[in-house]
Amino acid sequence: MMEKMVFGRYLPLDSVVHRLDPRAKLLFIFVYVAIVFLANNVFTYGLLLLFTFLAIFLSKINIRFLIIGLKPLLWIIIFTFSLHLFLTKEGDLLWKAGWIEIYEGGLQQGAFISLRFLLLIFMTSLLTLTTSPISITDGLESLLKPFKKMKLPVHELALMMSISLRFIPTLMDETEKIMKAQMARGADFSSGPIKERVKAIVPLLIPLFVSAFKRAEDLATAMEARGYRGGEGRTKYRLLQWTMKDTILLLVLLILAVVLFYLRS
Amino acid sequence: MDIQLQEVEYRYAAGTPFEHKALHNVSFTIPSGTYLAIIGHTGSGKSTILQHLNALLQPTNGQVHIGDRIVSSEKKEKNLKDVRKRVGIVFQFPEHQLFEETVEKDICYGPMNFGVSEEEAKQRAKQVIRQVGLSEEILNKSPFDLSGGQMRRVAIAGVLAMEPEVIVLDEPTAGLDPRGRKEMMKMFATLHKERNLSTILVTHSMEDAALYADEMVIMHQGEVYQKGKPRELFSKREELFQLGLSVPEVVRFQHRFEEESGIKLEKTCLTMDELVEQLQLVHKRGEGR
pLDDT tens profile B43-60: 899 989 999 998 899 899
pTM of this structure: 0.79
Contact present, B269 and B254 (Cβ < 8 Å): yes
Q: What is the largest CA-CA distance in chain B?
A: 68
Partnered with residue B11 across adjacent β-strands are: B21
Model confidence pLDDT, tens digit, residues B103-140: 999 999 999 999 999 999 999 999 999 988 899 999 99
To the nearest whole Å, the CA of B266 is away from the closest chain A CA by 44
pLDDT at B49: 93
Q: Which residue in A63, A185, A218 has the most chain B C-beta atoms within 10 A of its own C-beta, making it the best mutation to test that interface?
A: A185
CA distance A252 to A31: 12
CA distance A235 to A95: 66
The reply to whether B147 touches chain A by the CB within 8 Å rule is no
Residues of chain A positioned with their CB less than 8 A from the CB of B51: 180
Please, is B129 exposed, middle or buried when counting C-beta atoms within 10 Å of its C-beta (0-12, 13-18, 19+)? Answer: buried
Residue A239, CB half-sphere, CA atoms under 13 Å: how many? 4
Q: Is pLDDT of B267 > 80? A: yes
CA distance A133 to A163: 10
CA distance B128 to B133: 9
* Nearest residue to B98 via CA among B58, B138, B51, B41: B138
Residues 6+ apart with CB under 8 A from B252: B237, B246
Contact present, B120 and B111 (Cβ < 8 Å): yes
Q: What is the DSSP string of B33-46?
A: T-EEEEEE-TTSSH
Distance of CA B140 to the CA centre of its chain: 29
Who among A65, A202, A207 is closest to B97 (CB)? A207
Give residue A215's identity as a one-letter amino acid code: R
Q: Can you tell me the ipTM of this complex?
A: 0.88
Helical residues (DSSP H) of chain B, grouped into ranges: 46-53, 81-86, 103-113, 118-131, 148-160, 178-194, 206-212, 230-235, 237-242, 249-261, 272-284
**Is the CB of A184 less than 8 angstroms away from the CB of B12?**
no
Who among B91, B98, B113 is closest to A186 (CB)? B113
CA distance B103 to B96: 13
Which residues of A touch chain B, with CB atoms under 8 Å apart? 3-4, 6, 11, 62, 65, 68-69, 174, 177-178, 180-188, 191, 202-203, 206-207, 210-211
To the nearest whole Å, the CA of A41 is away from the closest chain B CA by 35
pLDDT at B153: 93
Please, is B5 exposed, middle or buried when counting C-beta atoms within 10 Å of its C-beta (0-12, 13-18, 19+)? Answer: buried
pLDDT at B243: 87
pLDDT at A1: 44
CA distance B141 to B123: 17
| DSSP helix/strand/coil, A97 | strand
pLDDT at B80: 82
Q: Which residue in B56, B96, B107, B171 has the most chain A C-beta atoms within 10 A of its own C-beta, making it the best mutation to test that interface?
A: B96
Residues 6+ apart with CB under 8 A from A103: A88, A89, A90, A91, A92, A93, A94
Who among A3, A62, A181 is closest to B12 (CB)? A3
* Nearest residue to B247 via CA among B279, B286, B282, B275: B275
Q: Is pLDDT of B250 > 70? A: yes
Distances in Å between the alpha carbon of A12 and those of A246, B20, B103, B186, B227? 19, 15, 45, 47, 38
Q: Average pLDDT of B75-83?
A: 78
CA distance B233 to B231: 6
Residue B254, CB half-sphere, CA atoms under 13 Å: how many? 27
Contact present, B191 and B160 (Cβ < 8 Å): yes
To the nearest whole Å, the CA of B189 is away from the closest chain A CA by 22
Contact present, A210 and B100 (Cβ < 8 Å): no
CA distance B236 to B257: 16
Parallel, antiparallel or unpaired: strands B69-72 and B20-30: unpaired
Who among B16, B85, B87 is closest to A65 (CB)? B16
The reply to whether B241 touches chain A by the CB within 8 Å rule is no
Please, is B81 exposed, middle or buried when counting C-beta atoms within 10 Å of its C-beta (0-12, 13-18, 19+)? Answer: middle
CA distance A114 to A109: 9
Parallel, antiparallel or unpaired: strands B3-12 and B87-90: unpaired
Helical residues (DSSP H) of chain A, grouped into ranges: 16-19, 22-36, 42-58, 63-69, 71-87, 104-130, 133-144, 154-184, 194-225, 244-263
Who among A65, A186, A187 is closest to B17 (CB)? A65
**pLDDT string in tens for chain A (265-residue length):** 445 556 667 777 888 888 888 899 999 999 999 999 888 888 889 999 999 999 989 988 888 778 776 777 888 888 888 888 877 777 677 777 777 777 788 888 888 888 888 888 888 888 888 888 888 888 988 999 899 899 888 888 888 888 887 888 788 889 999 999 999 998 888 777 888 888 889 999 999 999 999 999 999 999 999 999 887 888 888 888 898 989 999 999 999 999 988 888 7
**Is the CB of B18 less than 8 angstroms away from the CB of A174?**
no
**Is the CB of A186 less than 8 angstroms away from the CB of B81?**
yes
Distances in Å between the alpha carbon of B117 and those of A169, A258, B89, B109? 38, 72, 22, 11
Model confidence pLDDT, tens digit, residues B193-211: 988 889 999 999 899 999 9
